[in-house]
């Protein structure tokens, strides 16, 4: 008795496809039961899953695992396109199954992978299925873009809007929250962290009630053009129809932009003022999470009260000038220590400290380091001298300039091709972006060559400058953020006048009490 499994799949979960799936399952059961030498083990089913990749096909992957455990000897499937539309997957898995002594019968294609010529026939048929999948993908993408241009909305509902049948309709209760966020940010001048905290404390839920309000959620709302009535689509795209992985559209494909597409929740003037305020007030706020090491103290300042890290904030003085300060994350997120509406203690009493004060403190600590500073300066100078001697005059500047001219000419030819309708707009943008990226890289290389040649001409002056910089950093006379980042382990802040400073490779801490930040009194 031969143990037989069956595999079937439909690519959507629509009712007609579900009915088709049930019919397939019934067909396989009856077909296997009619053969007296076969015994049905399991019908593996994937519903609403694409065939171009096996990654998300749970039943398919379970079937392969069961095959490795020799749970069956044969697999029946309707056709190659139901098994896989990716040629490589088809060949890989049928070979793997064959090595396990398990054959796959593609019923409509009349292929049994245990037969001698099966792989050749399978390769041809799989390639045809894959090409059909590519054409289908192109047709779907083309159709989607035409519908986007007609104003059809692709996407899910969001805070303030419900998406149904490709149209946006306002959810008034949510719209009030959106208006409140813009009012707090623009008219009251509050930051995104403060707004998020106030919404949490007021018990206002996010669109997805499972998540809490955060500064990034507030930023996404403040930057979403839909709230002023505009619609921008194709912000993401799918480079490969095989992987189906989405990527952020950085100019690879043309955006679909429709102004005054739907009823706005806030007026255009308020939205534009919010964008100006984002750019003017806190340009680093949106990118802090991606650039956690952009400052020398990032991740190295700890709160002596709650243990959280300090985060940087850009503050503005009354005269309009800005400065950077550090504050405990818990305090920045939830304010001073207090009880929330649920009775939980949140917030922290940790105080903020200015960036300039921290730099001055570090310079004073370096000054008081009990090390042989003259020996350190001598050793560092010995390292720099041979490095400077390696700088050779680079004669490739002319070659780089020639390459830039060639690419510039190609860009001009690309414009001519587009104007003559020989290439599509999408192809023009794609190739133009590539040429611009290549030119930018060559310009950077040219700058490096120029700097290297200049360094060669001014070696004595450069060496003298570097020695003076080293002496200044080691003695604490010159403040250097990269130097501080490399030597600093952590700073534990209790308040502005009391903190502990730990340096890498130094087996003691500096416990500092500051009556005047310019004159710290400390002990080791």
Using alpha carbons, select from 382, 365, 386 the residue that is nearest to residue 374: 382
**Other beta carbons within 10 Å of 86:** 22
Q: List for the chain the helix, strand, coil content (%; round to 5).
A: 50, 20, 35
Give the integer Cα–Cα distance in Å for 503 and 485: 10
Long-range contacts of 285-293 (CB under 8 A, 24+ apart): 285/191, 285/192, 285/215, 285/219, 285/314, 286/219, 288/312, 289/216, 293/485
For residue 55, the tally of other CB atoms under 10 A from its CB is: 13
Report how far residue 288's alpha carbon sits from residue 353's, in angstroms, rounded to the nearest whole number.
18
- pLDDT digits 0-9 by tens, 113-170: 998 888 888 877 777 766 776 777 778 778 878 888 888 888 888 899 999 888 999 9
The answer to whether residue 292 scores a pLDDT higher than 60 is no
Closest CA to 285 of 185, 193, 189: 193
Mean per-residue pLDDT, 473-500: 83
Please give the Cα distance from 312 to 315 (Å, whole number).
Answer: 10
Does residue 288 carry a pLDDT above 50? no
Q: Which of 335, 361, 365 is nearest to 347 (CA)?
A: 335
Say yes or no to pLDDT of 52 above 50: no
The per-residue pLDDT of the chain, averaged, comes to 79
Contact 195, 201 (CB under 8 A): no
How many CB atoms neighbour CB 444 within 10 A?
11
Encoding tokens for residue 327?
Answer: 């504050």
Quick check: helix, strand or coil at residue 327?
A: strand
Q: 106 and 79 in contact (C-beta within 8 Å)?
A: yes
**Section 459-468 average pLDDT:** 70
8 A C-beta contact, residue 82 and residue 13: no
Indicate if the pLDDT at residue 244 is higher than 50.
yes
- Give 360-414 pLDDT, tens digit per residue: 888 888 888 777 778 877 877 776 666 555 544 445 667 788 888 888 888 788 7
Position 76 pLDDT exceeds 90: yes
C-alpha span between 55 and 260 (Å, rounded): 40
* CA 141 to chain CA centroid, nearest Å: 24
Q: Please, which pLDDT band fits residue 330 given cuts at 50, 70 and 90?
A: confident
Sign of CA dihedral 360, 361, 366, 367: positive
**Interior CA angle at 31 toward 26 and 35, to 5°?**
145
Confidence tier at 293 by pLDDT (50, 70, 90) = very low
């Amino acid at each position: 008795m031969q143990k037989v499994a069956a595999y079937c799949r439909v690519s959507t979960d629509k009712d007609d496809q579900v009915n088709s799936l049930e019919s397939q399952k019934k067909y396989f059961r009856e077909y296997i039961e009619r053969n007296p030498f076969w015994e049905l083990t399991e019908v593996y089913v994937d519903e609403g899953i694409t065939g171009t990749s096996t990654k998300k096909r749970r039943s398919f992957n379970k079937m392969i695992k069961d095959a490795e455990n020799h749970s069956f000897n044969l697999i029946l499937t309707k056709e190659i396109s139901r098994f896989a539309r990716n040629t490589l997957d088809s060949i890989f898995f049928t070979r793997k199954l064959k090595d396990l002594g398990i054959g796959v019968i593609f019923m409509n294609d009349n292929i049994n992978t245990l037969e001698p010529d099966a792989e050749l026939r399978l390769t041809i048929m799989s390639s045809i299925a894959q090409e059909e999948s590519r054409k289908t993908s192109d047709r779907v993408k083309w159709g989607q873009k035409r519908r986007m241009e007609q104003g059809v909305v692709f996407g899910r509902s969001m805070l303030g809007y419900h998406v149904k049948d490709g149209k946006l309709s306002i959810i008034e209760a949510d719209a009030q929250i959106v208006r409140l966020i813009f009012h707090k940010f623009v008219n009251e001048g509050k930051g995104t962290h403060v707004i998020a905290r106030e919404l949490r404390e007021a018990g206002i839920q996010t669109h997805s009630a499972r998540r809490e309000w955060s500064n990034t959620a507030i930023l996404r709302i403040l930057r979403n053009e839909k709230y002023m009535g505009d619609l921008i689509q194709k912000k993401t795209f799918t480079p490969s129809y095989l992987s189906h992985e989405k990527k952020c559209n950085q100019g690879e494909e043309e955006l679909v932009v429709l102004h005054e597409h739907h009823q706005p929740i806030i007026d255009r003037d308020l939205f534009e003022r919010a964008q100006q305020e984002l750019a003017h007030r806190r340009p680093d706020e949106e990118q802090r999470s991606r650039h956690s090491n952009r400052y020398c103290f990032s991740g190295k300042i700890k709160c002596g009260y709650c243990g959280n890290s300090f985060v940087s904030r850009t503050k503005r003085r009354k005269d309009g000038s800005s400065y950077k300060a550090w504050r405990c994350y818990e305090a920045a997120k939830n304010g001073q220590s207090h009880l929330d509406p649920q009775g939980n203690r949140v917030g922290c009493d940790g105080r903020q400290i200015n960036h300039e004060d921290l730099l001055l403190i570090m310079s004073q600590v370096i000054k008081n380091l009990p090390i042989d500073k003259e020996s350190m300066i001598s050793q560092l100078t010995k390292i720099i001298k041979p490095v400077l001697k390696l700088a050779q005059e680079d004669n490739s500047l002319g070659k780089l300039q020639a390459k830039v001219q060639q690419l510039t000419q190609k860009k001009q030819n690309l414009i001519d091709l587009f104007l003559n309708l020989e290439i599509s707009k999408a192809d023009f943008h794609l190739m133009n972006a590539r040429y611009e990226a290549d030119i930018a890289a060559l310009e950077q290389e040219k700058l490096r060559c120029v700097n290297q040649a200049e360094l060669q001409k001014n070696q004595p002056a450069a060496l003298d400058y570097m020695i003076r910089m080293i002496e200044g950093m080691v003695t604490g006379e010159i403040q250097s953020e990269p130097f501080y980042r490399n030597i600093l382990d952590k700073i534990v802040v209790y308040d502005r006048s009391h903190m502990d400073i730990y340096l890498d490779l130094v087996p003691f801490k500096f416990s500092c009490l500051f009556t005047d930040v310019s004159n710290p009194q400390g002990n080791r």
